[in-house]
Structure 1
């Protein structure tokens, strides 16, 4: 019996929720074509710093079907990691090191991938088809694709924002050969707010919606392998691994 695509989509949402996902949306595999142009401009400006892996597979990163030509639909998923306490509460405690919220628990790659694989197994048993799962370790632009799938929008800090979960979502993706009805993309709700821009301690946003990783505390304390530039050290303050300021505000 052929499953109705809309019924299958509803069933996927319910199963995703049962597996711990807080958000689930659907998009076509060719969604967010404008993201490729934004990626090219960002890379050409050098804003990725020493993250050569961002450029090495830029063609695959630009289009999901360049990574897997058989993909027809995307299932974009978000798992909440919202903190129980205010991440900014230690800002006035210079003697205490601050670690980004995402790094304070178990490795999110393991947690999200386990749930993605469980959902993938369920989907194959239910509807067949072929699929691949991704969580932050392959050239997939999860944020613009999640926006295309209606989960949220990319805010002025370039991260995904959800009206229900804020900026606290670990994102995962399932590419499938199944043809599933897409959700409408999420509109931008930032309006005139620039709180995330003003909160950045190292002025890492040259303009709204654009991040210069070379000035970002998360990049400098996690990805960057060399010495931290002297002019940015004071802004880092007591942050020793990552930064949540633009997310928290």
Structure 2
């Protein structure tokens, strides 16, 4: 079984400062070297010879497609194909590599969609003692508790901060429109940290097979993330469920 992903393994840091940093220019992808750094603009071809642009280097909705060898890895053939569809994006993003949680940590998760709930699952596996879920949709509480949150907060129900913030903040996902993050430098004075994470700082070639193995053994539980299954002809209905906040991931059957 093969799983596609959008980032390559790390070879060497540009400034030789941090060897495990995910997006260093020298190793952004073997594909970059082949295509002068324009891998997302290089067409790939289907079986009919028709060219398509790809983002990011693989298609989710094509029954047959081409990917660069740098962006595909072999995983255990005994793994559930349905569950493994989650690993290319979404569940791996907050897998825990970036925050590197210690057992007994307290974690606050803002937004309980599939990425947020994957943070919850990662925190549970890492042994977090308290996992607080925050979402403006109170319907997310039941699903969050099924995966592992210990507390739930709807900020619309509060008129003041519940706690003074500190520690590490990890930014995940891509905002639909660029926005600035207003921040006074003194907010970082006492040791607060803000970092971002792409693909969970996960190295697909070397780490994804082991992660898939943990999933097959029940260490990481994926079943709760697949809320719907539909034929491909109902893809628009699946998207609407997602937009309405009623679905985490929907598996489409061709």
Q: Which interval holds the TM-score relative to the shorter structure?
A: under 0.3
Higher relative contact order (CA 8 A, sep 6+): 1
TM-score (norm. length: structure 2) = 0.27
Higher helix share: 1
